[in-house]
Structure 1
Amino acid sequence: MGKRTIAIIGGSGFIGTRLVKRLSTRSDLALKIIDLKESQRFAQWYHYADVTQPESLRQALAGCDAVINLAATHRDKRRSRSLDRQVSVEGARTLCNVAVELAIKQIVFTSSVAVYGVVEQETGEEGSLVPADRFGKSKRQAELIYQAWRHAGAGNKLTIIRPTPVFGEGDRGHFYHLCRRIASGRYVMIGDGNNRQSMAYVENIAAHLEYVLDRQADYQISNYADKPDLTMNQLIEGVATALGREDRFIHIPYWPGMCGVALLDLAGKVSRHKFAISRAKVQKFCATAQFTSNGPSHFVAPVELSLAIEQTVRHEFS
């Protein structure tokens, strides 16, 4: 049996680079990295394509047997309101059309737990799909497009992974900014810190994507989170320990803290200054956001969550 050619859309990015590194050791696979931005680590496999442009995607996917779609919008202030829809929804429609033309029979799509919206208890795949923001709504719309593709063609195989927020070395998301505030000694804790939030380490989600690629299930939807879920107090203690700091931070009860942040929001509107802290961010930080997967799986994450946190903190702040 010859090599399977695997396309990783978004393969130049944070998760994509980790995934390509894993797959690059495999003698049974040939790889294509498909992205707007050239891969800094694996330029030899890079192919330019825009997921919303059929012709560029058609050329890049020629000869591929399977596609892993990691394409996502960047979390920055320049992101337009329509960009989530363009990348997730129009990108899904374009990819499915091109897959039909090129007889590609396997697609793995990374969605998000944002499709569930606000959850009040640990939520599995049977949870209600009530996305609360445009990102979650765009991911849910994309899922429906991929599901239609799967039903429309005999032999089409679809796996949808809904990861919790992903962290790791080199990312500049919420976890990194939390660590940076703790490292600076200027961290203020609002609330009791007993709420739990699910997380996923980048190496583990990459390993899970490799696992589902090999399984080639006809159809599967699963959440992904590294367990056990930590309370915010436990997370902060783990970060502080990795930094070699004692957990001596200012703790403010929830409601007084929220009142103070609301005043900051008001001051920001008047002065047109954007503060690093906001009411929406504090509400999200203090909320419970726990997810689990109830489907059968023999996957074992290669890195324990506590070690992943330690490795990430030491890499970024040593």
Structure 2
Amino acid sequence: MDKRKVAIIGGSGFIGTRLAKRLSARGDLTLKIVDIRESRQFAQCYQYGDVTQPESLRQALVGYDVVINLAAEHQDNVEPVSRYYQVNVEGARHLCMVASELAIKQIIFTSSVAVYGFVDQETGEEGHFDPFNHYGKSKLEAEYVYEAWRNTGSGNKLTIIRPTVVFGEENRGNVYNLFNQIASGRFVMVGNGNNMKSMAYVENIAARLEYALDQQADYQVSNYVDKPDFTMNQLIGVISASLGRENKTIRIPYLLGMCGAAVFDLASKLSRRKFPISRVRIQKFCARTQFKSNVQHNFVAPVDLNLAIEKTVKYEFDPR
């Protein structure tokens, strides 16, 4: 039986590297990493490819059967905002066009729970779409592009996975910043801390993507969340306990936090510098972001969430 040929677009990144590690250990497939940055760990599998440059995708994907697309513009405060749509939406169009040209029949796409926006209850796949920022809006538009590809090609298989915020060792996103502030003793809680937060550990989302690859479902859309959910207060307690430290959180009201963030936004606009504090980040921090999946499958996450937090905290901040 011929080996399946699987390409990971964005495979040099945080999630992509974990997924590549899992897939490279298998003997039943051939792996390629397609990215604008060379893979540090899997240079032998790497080929340059940029979703904004369709010809580079054509060259990289010739002969491949499955594409897992992790490439995205996702950071807060990206300027110009058109960059979200250039990478996330136009990139999706380019990939679908190239997939049709090369007779690639299976695409797995990582979207985001950001397509739902702020939620007032635990939200599954049936949730109302109401993205509040350009990242969420562009991810939702990209989903529509992939849906159109699925519907126009005979035998096309599509899996869309919407992860909640992903964390883990060697990530430098918003969760790392939170962990770092708590570890440094400089953490300031904005709001009452009772808002629920869903999280996903990088090894678990990589395993979920591998599971989707093996399922080969004709069509599936699902959220990805590691349970249980924590309030911000509970999460800070778990992180503090992992560090063996007493929780000494400083607290300020939400309105005061937003006013302070507005000052940083103004300073950023005037100086053209990016600061770690912004109104968008305060909104996201204080919002309820609690999600679930109602999709039935047999996937079991390999790492317990409490253990995942402990592993990440100790790896990053415990010198012992």
Q: Tell me the TM-score range normalised by the shorter chain.
A: over 0.9
- The verdict on how the C-alpha distance between 1:264 and 1:55 changes in structure 2, with shifts beyond 3 A counting, is closer
Candidates 250, 264, 269, aligned match of 2:266: 269
Query: Are the equivalent residues in 1 in contact too, given 2:264–2:275 (CA < 8 A)?
Result: no
Which of 211-220 and 176-185 deviates more? 176-185
Task: Tell me, in whole angstroms, the C-alpha distance in 2 between the residues paired with 1:314 and 1:277.
Answer: 25
- Post-superposition shift, 1:130? 1.7
Task: Tell me, in whole angstroms, the C-alpha distance in 1 between the residues paired with 2:65 and 2:265.
Answer: 51
Give 1:233's aligned residue.
233
Query: Are the equivalent residues in 1 in contact too, given 2:92–2:146 (CA < 8 A)?
Result: yes
Give 2:84's aligned residue.
84
Query: Are the equivalent residues in 2 in contact too, given 1:7–1:33 (CA < 8 A)?
Result: yes
- The verdict on how the C-alpha distance between 1:64 and 1:141 changes in structure 2, with shifts beyond 3 A counting, is same
Give 1:224's aligned residue.
224
- Post-superposition shift, 1:283? 2.9
Query: Are the equivalent residues in 1 in contact too, given 2:32–2:46 (CA < 8 A)?
Result: yes
- The verdict on how the C-alpha distance between 1:267 and 1:162 changes in structure 2, with shifts beyond 3 A counting, is closer
Letter in 1 for 2:202: V
- Post-superposition shift, 1:264? 5.7
Deviation readout 1:165-218 (Å, 9 max, x if unpaired): 111111111111111111111112232222111111100000000000100000
Letter in 1 for 2:173: G
Task: Tell me, in whole angstroms, the C-alpha distance in 1 between the residues paired with 2:35 and 2:117.
Answer: 28
- Post-superposition shift, 1:259? 2.6
**Percent identical residues:** 64
Give 1:246's aligned residue.
246
Runs of 5+ unmatched residues, structure 2: none
- Post-superposition shift, 1:228? 0.7
Deviation readout 1:146-170 (Å, 9 max, x if unpaired): 1111111111100000010111111
Task: Confirm or deny that 1:160 pairs with 2:160.
Answer: yes
Task: Confirm or deny that 1:304 pairs with 2:301.
Answer: no
Candidates 245, 251, 258, aligned match of 2:255: 258
Task: Tell me, in whole angstroms, the C-alpha distance in 2 between the residues paired with 1:268 and 1:143.
Answer: 31
- The verdict on how the C-alpha distance between 1:310 and 1:216 changes in structure 2, with shifts beyond 3 A counting, is same
Query: Are the equivalent residues in 1 in contact too, given 2:208–2:301 (CA < 8 A)?
Result: yes
Letter in 2 for 1:243: L
Task: Tell me, in whole angstroms, the C-alpha distance in 1 between the residues paired with 2:67 and 2:275.
Answer: 40
Query: Are the equivalent residues in 2 in contact too, given 1:258–1:282 (CA < 8 A)?
Result: no
- The verdict on how the C-alpha distance between 1:121 and 1:49 changes in structure 2, with shifts beyond 3 A counting, is same
Which of 278-287 and 73-82 deviates more? 73-82
Query: TM-score w.r.t. structure 1 length?
Result: 0.94
- The verdict on how the C-alpha distance between 1:260 and 1:149 changes in structure 2, with shifts beyond 3 A counting, is closer
Letter in 1 for 2:184: S
- Post-superposition shift, 1:55? 1.4
Give 1:180's aligned residue.
180
- The verdict on how the C-alpha distance between 1:275 and 1:58 changes in structure 2, with shifts beyond 3 A counting, is closer
- Post-superposition shift, 1:74? 5.2
Give 1:73's aligned residue.
73
Matched position secondary structure for 1:50: coil
Matched position secondary structure for 2:50: coil
Query: TM-score w.r.t. structure 2 length?
Result: 0.93
Task: Tell me, in whole angstroms, the C-alpha distance in 1 between the residues paired with 2:144 and 2:77.
Answer: 28
- The verdict on how the C-alpha distance between 1:259 and 1:16 changes in structure 2, with shifts beyond 3 A counting, is same
Task: Tell me, in whole angstroms, the C-alpha distance in 1 between the residues paired with 2:11 and 2:133.
Answer: 25
Task: Tell me, in whole angstroms, the C-alpha distance in 2 between the residues paired with 1:270 and 1:313.
Answer: 32
Give 2:293's aligned residue.
293
- Post-superposition shift, 1:76? 6.4
Give 1:197's aligned residue.
197
Matched position secondary structure for 1:295: coil
Which of 168-177 and 280-289 deviates more? 280-289
- The verdict on how the C-alpha distance between 1:4 and 1:179 changes in structure 2, with shifts beyond 3 A counting, is same
Task: Confirm or deny that 1:60 pairs with 2:60.
Answer: yes
Runs of 5+ unmatched residues, structure 1: none
Matched position secondary structure for 1:223: strand
Give 2:129's aligned residue.
129
May I ask how many residue pairs the two structures share in their alignment?
315
Matched position secondary structure for 1:198: strand
Task: Tell me, in whole angstroms, the C-alpha distance in 1 between the residues paired with 2:51 and 2:267.
Answer: 40
Task: Confirm or deny that 1:169 pairs with 2:166.
Answer: no
Query: Are the equivalent residues in 2 in contact too, given 1:10–1:69 (CA < 8 A)?
Result: yes
